[in-house]
Amino acid sequence: MSYTPNDSESTFNVLQPTIVRIDRIVDESKTTKSFFFNGNIEYEPGQFIMLWIPGLDEKPFSISYHGKNFFGITAACKGRFTRKLHQMSVGDILGVRGPLGRPFTIQKGNACLIGGGVGMASLATLVDRLKRGMIIQGAKTASDVLFRDRTGFSGMTVYTEDGSAGEIGLPTKNLETIYKQFGVMTLYVCGPEPMTHAVFEFARRHGLPMQASLERYMKCGIGLCGQCSCDGLRMCLEGPVVDRETLETLSDFGRFARLKDGRKVAIEEYLQVRT
Amino acid sequence: MSYTPNDSESTFNVLQPTIVRIDRIVDESKTTKSFFFNGNIEYEPGQFIMLWIPGLDEKPFSISYHGKNFFGITAACKGRFTRKLHQMSVGDILGVRGPLGRPFTIQKGNACLIGGGVGMASLATLVDRLKRGMIIQGAKTASDVLFRDRTGFSGMTVYTEDGSAGEIGLPTKNLETIYKQFGVMTLYVCGPEPMTHAVFEFARRHGLPMQASLERYMKCGIGLCGQCSCDGLRMCLEGPVVDRETLETLSDFGRFARLKDGRKVAIEEYLQVRT
Amino acid sequence: MAAVDLSTELCGIKLRNPTVLASGILGTSNALLQMVAGAGVGAVTTKSISLDPMPGHNNPITVGFEAGLLNAVGYSNPGLHAAIEEFKNLEGMGVPVIASVIGRGVGEFIKVVEGLWSQGFAAIEISLSCPHTPGFGMMAGQSNPHYTRQVVAAVRRVTSIPIFVKLSPETPDIAKVAVAAEEAGADGITAVNTMGPGMVINIEARQPVLGFKMGGVSGPALRPIAVRCVYEIYKAVRIPIIGTGGVSTGRHAIEMLMAGATAVGIGTAVCISGLDVFSAVCREMEEWMEANNVSSVQELIGTAHELYPE
Amino acid sequence: MAAVDLSTELCGIKLRNPTVLASGILGTSNALLQMVAGAGVGAVTTKSISLDPMPGHNNPITVGFEAGLLNAVGYSNPGLHAAIEEFKNLEGMGVPVIASVIGRGVGEFIKVVEGLWSQGFAAIEISLSCPHTPGFGMMAGQSNPHYTRQVVAAVRRVTSIPIFVKLSPETPDIAKVAVAAEEAGADGITAVNTMGPGMVINIEARQPVLGFKMGGVSGPALRPIAVRCVYEIYKAVRIPIIGTGGVSTGRHAIEMLMAGATAVGIGTAVCISGLDVFSAVCREMEEWMEANNVSSVQELIGTAHELYPE
Ligand SMILES: Cc1cc2nc3c(=O)[nH]c(=O)nc-3n(C[C@H](O)[C@H](O)[C@H](O)COP(=O)(O)OP(=O)(O)OC[C@H]3O[C@@H](n4cnc5c(N)ncnc54)[C@H](O)[C@@H]3O)c2cc1C
Ligand SMILES: Cc1cc2nc3c(=O)[nH]c(=O)nc-3n(C[C@H](O)[C@H](O)[C@H](O)COP(=O)(O)OP(=O)(O)OC[C@H]3O[C@@H](n4cnc5c(N)ncnc54)[C@H](O)[C@@H]3O)c2cc1C
Ligand SMILES: Cc1cc2nc3c(=O)[nH]c(=O)nc-3n(C[C@H](O)[C@H](O)[C@H](O)COP(=O)(O)O)c2cc1C
Ligand SMILES: Cc1cc2nc3c(=O)[nH]c(=O)nc-3n(C[C@H](O)[C@H](O)[C@H](O)COP(=O)(O)O)c2cc1C
Ligand code: FES
Ligand code: FES
């Protein structure tokens, strides 16, 4: 990595935000919007960007749409930052730093993509890239389901907690059945950590290859501050995508995450905190 | 130009001295020694280097010997710096910054190289390069004459003030005769400014092309401090070699130079000051 | 859209564009200033002038490192008398000329300004901030509110042309010094001089490179510090600021303006990028302003202080 | 010639090589320190620990520029209680671990050191020098001789392990503060923390990038300033110095040693060059030392202070 020459507004880099203008906003679900920007960012599925609302804050997001001269992110409305984001309009500006982190490594053979909630955003460009494999989405209710009409997603299986769309239950519900039917497959996972952990136990049971994207609180995004650590790995640099073998070594996985001040708390507590 | 990475000791650059070790010392005359170093410096005849005696000072010198993996300078013993230099031994270290300044532009046709005193050092690599032309050297006495046995200098005409070697008088003495004999020629000149000025008047009279190296007090050597100015030109950057057309525009030429503190004094006074 | 207007105004001094040659770079003679004027600069500053001639420090007086330049020139200059001889017919320069003045004490400042100011200079710049010359600036503790107030008040009494005070980025509370200068009658602030001092040691020689061992740091390394200083000073005073430190592109100049500068000093970049830097910076500013629908420099000054999004 | 000996000793603490992970970089957990230890570092420093948990400033907490990095982390850390839980079994680390400690006042420093020191740390580093956190360091005026004396004397009474004091390059007379620390019982000095603060404004957004608007400058821009600070401190005290600021190569490390450092802190370069920076710096030092007939680090320390040629 080298220091950023502050001399160009048009190249994306990891040390300084580059300004983009919102080109188009799409409602993906009741609580989720996609924001589209012009610009050519080198991005591999599974990586992330830091999105800056000038004067407010900077937070990590996956790129959910990626083309030669545009890209988009899909954001759920959760707290202070995403609320502000959802209020923004076409023409408003945002800063983008990235691409950051390690992407999914695409494996040969059968693929099974399992996304929970807005974790689906991280898998979306992987769907575009793979052009094969099974897609499983878990959502709260029918009005939370993402990308139902998106090209490439026609075969997606949906699970909702209340059964208002697709099948009732968690997206991990039928994994054993699927395995019996299709045999060895690579699992690509992004979602709430309890879900990821359930997939992990399934994968370990059957010795299946698996890659999961883990969310940890991100600050610098470039491996400097140590904030995003999960055991001895920095999720902004050695993650957010890690493979099953690595997950096996992580004692924090599925159990602990660090708050903004670095305190290590139970993952359930972490997921509830608003900043 | 870009900032120096302080990461290598082996590449010469203009912003930071690179250390060289004295490889060989040769007595060129009673008052003049040549110092040889290992190293590959890109150098064109007429340019100069800043030579650093660590802890003491840094002063400008021409490169008088230049090969693929070595170079040398030839220094007269004048004041504090050159006295110290003359006391140094093989194995001692010095710093070199360069190459600096504008070199001679080699012209087709007849050439006449006129050097006065240690100004001959600046012309020496030009002799090596040109492999043609007349060489005229002016010196005080026989024991001051330089490069008499050097390859390529066999045809050199020598003038001494006391006639102890060569012809008696100044090296400009027979220029008219030479001109009558050989016609148009390019004059390459380096020596005390009164001598250079005499050549200049001769060249102007006959409309002859001329390039002269002017000495001004050098500090930064990179065009920053303005110390070395001769009228609006910085001799470290737009010089030290200037052509006749430029000399014609310089009202300071042959008349004024600036002391270390920037005071503009008569050239005769400048040449007498010891620092 | 209409052509971009790069002109700016420093307490009544009109500049065709916001670039200013910083003091100590090339400013030793009329002829050199003329050359810089010809390169498209907005205004020029002389090398700092003291009462008596000063030889300055021994060579090396500059040394580069991977992120900028160190210098320990040591305020070498021919002194007031020679400066009066040198800097004449300044109207012919085509751009405003600022006289940089230094002194070992209030008395010296007064004498130099008295001697110089009526030569046709557009303004006097009082430099209180060099970090590497014994008896002057930081090494004499001149960059504090009390001393600043004293000098400015004294100089104010002997000249009617605008007075700028040049501050050091090493001043613990730079805004306070700026306020003191303003209250004592200064018409503008130049921020900043070099920082540090710093030191570069040649490890083969095991010796500091500079003749004075340490020197002020300029260029890229200084830039964010200078921007912060300008930002803080802008919040505290109403007089204009010449933002100086590490500027080498149009984007850098615009950043300085947004921090609160009215004009932008350029020094080290003249050596690294050459004299073209002034016209290049102006061209890059114009391009950016056109692309971003900004038609004048005035619309940029201090805008980083406005809250975003609303 | 015989193999080069890179080992060094900091007031009794043996280091296999002079590289030290600087505070605030990766030092948030035992596991991360372990990873750095595995990368070949000589010693590691924890992220600074305060009495109470601190969330730190909002993002962005870092921003790069052409000559270095700005950060305004704001001392985010989980506080003393969590740190006691986190930093355990330090013997297993294989390298000495230094605990960096911060406080809003002498009382807080005492409490944190009392709580921490017997965890197996090799030393305590008292940081008086952060330029961007209200209540701490420079923003609380802690980097002066008087305060330094007070804190060090107080902490000295509650721990028997070595105490380092970390100073700011912005301290007007840094050598005086170092002397005060030494007189009050400090065993070493860490020089320096980040400089500035500086500011980077994004001109399209017209806003400072950092959440705290300004932040401390580290990396290449800081290096010559850090070298000068170490040089000045070395002249003034007899206790060892961890020279920190902008080091990213073996040549840089040797320069720090020659200025007077006994060990060399590395922070920003860990991010720019990766964790390999420690072993790369050591390899480059070895190569240079072999080529220059230097067989141990001891032969380099402070050598730039000796006059050349004789
Ligand atoms: C690698 C990665 C990729 C992500 N991709 C997406 C995406 O594509 N779409 C999407 O909607 N969300 C994504 N997120 C989560 C997103 O960053 C948070 O939803 C957002 O930061 C919430 O901010 P807030 O102020 O609105 O809510 P807050 O009230 O601040 O926080 C809500 C929750 O968001 C998480 N969060 C908040 N701040 C951060 C932070 N700085 N770093 C990491 N997590 C944080 C925490 O779990 C917190 O409990 C991703 C997170 C990571 C780590
Ligand atoms: C472009 C250029 C090329 C030169 N090449 C050679 C060369 O090849 N061989 C050689 O012997 N000499 C050369 N010189 C002159 C050389 O720099 C001086 O002889 C040397 O600096 C004297 O230093 P001192 O301390 O021994 O003497 P001092 O007592 O300091 O000065 C003696 C005279 O040297 C000149 N001088 C001193 N310092 C400087 C300086 N910093 N810059 C320029 N001139 C200075 C002045 O004319 C002074 O009157 C060159 C000068 C220039 C400008
Ligand atoms: C070689 C050199 C000489 C300088 N001399 C002076 C001086 O005489 N008076 C002064 O006020 N500032 C002097 N400065 C400081 C500059 O005017 C300027 O404030 C500083 O270098 C920061 O700007 P820059 O990064 O664009 O160079 C000097 C700087 C350099 C590099
Ligand atoms: C992101 C970051 C966080 C830092 N946090 C601390 C800290 O908590 N305590 C401290 O004493 N210094 C802290 N520092 C300063 C470093 O320890 C170091 O002194 C400084 O960065 C200079 O070294 P470098 O140029 O090698 O980074 C931090 C520096 C950075 C870049
Ligand atoms: S977010 Fe700072 S190390 Fe990962
Ligand atoms: S020696 Fe400084 S400009 Fe030429």
Does C271 reside within a domain?
yes
Q: What's the rounded Cα separation, in Å, for the pair B191 and B211?
A: 12
Residue C196 to residue D220, Cβ atoms within 8 A: no
Residue C16 to residues C9, C23, C120, Cα–Cα distance (Å): 9, 19, 18
The two most distant CA atoms of chain B are separated, in Å, by: 56
Record the tokens describing residue A203, joined without a space: 């994968």
Query: What distances in angstroms separate CA D52 from CA A258, D78, D101, D207, one per listed residue?
Result: 16, 7, 12, 31
D148 — phi, psi (to 5°)?
A: -55, -45
pLDDT in tens, D246-295: 999 999 999 999 999 999 999 999 999 999 999 999 999 999 999 999 99
Contact between D199 and C224 using a beta-carbon 8 Å cutoff? yes
The ligand minimizing its distance to the Cα of A258 is 1
Please give the Cα distance from B161 to B166 (Å, whole number): 10
Domain that holds residue D18: 8-58+74-199+221-301
Alpha carbon nearest to ligand 4 atom 7, residue? D24
Q: Which pLDDT score, from 0 to 100, does residue A6 have?
A: 45
Contact predicate A145/A160, CB 8 Å: yes
Whole-angstrom Cα distance, residue A165 to residue A154? Answer: 15
DSSP bridge partners of A186: A111
Which residues in chain A touch residue C308, judged by CB atoms under 8 angstroms apart?
54-55
Burial level of A149, CB count in 10 A (0-12/13-18/19+)? exposed
Q: Is residue D216 part of a domain?
A: no
State whether the beta carbon of D246 lies less than 6 angstroms from ligand 4. yes
Out of C24, C79, C207, the one facing B55 most closely (by C-beta) is C207
Proximal ligand: closest to the CA of D61: 4
Q: Does B54 touch chain D (CB under 8 A)?
A: yes
Query: Please, are residues C27 and C44 in contact by the beta-carbon 8 Å criterion?
Result: yes
CB of D252 within 8 Å of any CB in chain B? yes
User: Is residue C17 in a domain?
Assistant: yes
A7 and C251: CB-CB below 8 Å?
yes
D247 within domain boundaries? yes
Give residue D239's pLDDT.
98
CATH number assigned to the domain comprising residue C107: 3.20.20.70
Q: How far is the CA of B50 from the centre of ligand 2 (A)?
A: 10
Domain boundaries, chain A: 18-100, 111-274
At residue B79, what is the residue type?
A: G
Given a cut of 80, is residue B8 above it in pLDDT? no
Task: Kindly state the tokens that stand for B140.
Answer: 């005080």
D69 falls within a domain: no
3-state secondary structure of D54: strand
The reported pLDDT for the residue numbered D161 is: 97
Residue B57 contacts D where some CB pair is shorter than 8 Å: no
Specify whether the CB–CB gap between C291 and C242 falls below 8 A.
no
Pocket test for ligand 2, best of B29, B53, B82 (most atoms within 8 A of CB): B82
D141 touches chain C (CB under 8 A): no
Distance from the C89 Cα atom to the nearest Cα atom in chain D, whole angstroms: 40
Cα–Cα distance measured from residue A15 to residue B245, given in angstroms and rounded to the nearest whole number = 51
Contact of A54 with chain C, judged by CB distance below 8 Å, is answered with yes
Report yes or no: B109 and B37 within 8 Å, Cβ to Cβ. Answer: no
CB contact under 8 A, B220 and C31: no
Does the pLDDT at position C23 exceed 80? yes
| Whether the predicted pLDDT of A5 surpasses 50 | no
CA-CA distance, A203 to A189, in Å (whole number)?
11
Q: What is the pLDDT of residue C122?
A: 97
Which one of A224, A230, A238, A258 would you pick to mutate in the ligand 5 pocket, going by the greatest count of ligand atoms within 8 A of its CB? A224
- Those chains having 3 or more beta-carbon pairs within 8 angstroms of chain A are C, D
Distance (angstroms) between ligand 2 centre and the Cα of C77 equals 20
Name the band, by pLDDT with cuts 50, 70 and 90, for residue D108. very high
Q: Does D272 touch chain C (CB under 8 A)?
A: no
Q: What is the pTM of this model?
A: 0.96
Tens digits of residue pLDDT in B117-176:
999 999 999 999 998 899 999 999 999 999 999 999 999 999 999 999 999 999 999 999
Residue C114's CB is within 10 A of a number of other CB atoms, namely: 14
Please tell me the total count of domains within chain D. 1
Is there a domain that residue D67 lies in? no
On whether the A111-274 domain is CATH 3.90.320.10, my answer is no
Contacts of B55 in chain D (CB under 8 A): 307-309
B41 lines ligand 6 (CB under 6 A): no
The H-or-E segment that residue D283 falls in is helix D277-291
pLDDT digits (tens, 9 = 90+) for B96-133: 999 999 999 999 999 999 999 999 999 999 999 998 89
Give residue C206's pLDDT: 96
Q: Please indicate whether residue B220, judged by its CB atom, sits closer than 6 Å to ligand 6.
A: yes
The minimum-distance atom of ligand 5 relative to the CA of A221 is 1
For a substitution probing ligand 3, which of C57, C142, C218, C271 has the most ligand atoms within 8 Å of its CB?
C218
Find, among C73, C53, C153, C143, the residue nearest to C109 by Cα: C153
Instruction: Write the ipTM.
Output: 0.96
CATH of B18-100, one of 2.40.30.10, 2.60.34.10, 1.10.3720.10, 2.40.50.100: 2.40.30.10
Is the pLDDT at C172 greater than 90? The verdict is no
User: Distance, CA C242 to ligand 3 centroid (Å)?
Assistant: 13
Check pLDDT > 90 for residue D62. Answer: yes
Which entry of C130, C229, C271, C282 is annotated as an active-site residue? Answer: C130
- A56 Cβ closer than 6 Å to some ligand 1 atom: no
Collapsing DSSP states into helix, strand and coil, what is residue A193? helix
| Inter-chain residue contact D65 with C196, CB threshold 8 Å | no
Touching pair C, D by Cβ (3+ pairs < 8 Å):
yes
Between the two ends of chain D, the Cα-to-Cα distance in Å is 26
Question: How far is ligand 3, taken at its centre, from the CA of residue C74, in Å?
Answer: 11
Once rounded to an integer, what is the mean pLDDT over residues B232-256? 95
Residue A202's nearest CA partner among A247, A268, A238 is: A247
